[in-house]
Amino acid sequence: MTNEYVSMGKYVSYLLRHHPEEAGVVLDEHGWTDVTDLVAKVQPKYPLTEELLHKMAVAPDKQRYEFSEDGKRIRAVHGHSVPVDLGYEEAEPPAVLYHGSAEKYRAGIAAEGLKKKDRLFVHLSERIDAAKEVGRRHGKLVLYQIDAQQMYRDGYKFCRSSSGVWLTDAVPLKYMEEIKIL
C-alpha cells in the first residue's frame, strides 16, 4: 500500500465523515453521496477511481465505507462529526466490549468516562485486538473493558455499524475498567 493510497483513503474518510463541503461533496440525511460525484470531487487532489474506492471500502484492515445496494452511492459507516442518521437499529451488545485510547487522554477518561466529544457516538470493539489497534493510532495505548451488558440492562442504548463497530452515546466510569496491557 503506497503512502498516496493511504492519504487518499484518509481524505475520502475526512470528506464523508467530517467536512464534505471542503470538496463540494453533498451528503444526504443518511450520509450517502453519489459515487461518481465523489470520485470527480476527489480527483483534483488524488487519482481516485471507482475501482480504487471499492478496494478501499473492502480492505480487511479498515471497513470505513459502504455502498448502496445499487452501488451508486457511498457513505462512511461510522465516525461522523457531521449530523447524519445512519439508520442503525438498537441492538443488545455482547457482555463485554473494549475501547482503545491513548495515554494522553487517560486523565480525561478517568474523570468523565468515555464521551463522544465531536463525534456522533463512542466507538467500542468486540475484539480486544481491534481496540488495541485503534488506541495505538493515537499514542501510547490505554485499553478499557466495558461492561456493556450491565449498561444495556441499565437502559443505555447500543447499535452496531455495518462494519461491526458498536456505537453508544457515552460510557460512564462505573461500567469501565482499565486493562493492563501485556
Architecture per CATH, domain 3-76, reads as Orthogonal Bundle (1.10)
Give me the residue spans of the domains in the chain.
Answer: 3-76, 96-179
In angstroms, the first-to-last Cα distance of the chain is 29
Query: 96-179: same fold as 3-76?
Result: no
| pLDDT number for residue 74 | 95
Could you list the pLDDT tens digit for every one of the 182 residues in the chain?
577 888 898 899 999 999 999 999 999 999 999 999 999 999 999 999 999 998 888 765 567 789 999 999 999 988 888 999 988 999 999 999 999 999 999 999 999 999 998 888 999 999 999 899 888 988 899 999 999 999 999 999 999 988 889 999 999 999 999 998 86
Other beta carbons within 10 angstroms of residue 175's beta carbon come to 22
pTM confidence score: 0.80
Contact 123, 78 (CB under 8 A): yes
CATH topology of domain 96-179: ADP-ribosylation fold (3.20.170)
CB 63 within 8 A of CB 77: yes
Q: What does the pLDDT read at residue 62?
A: 61
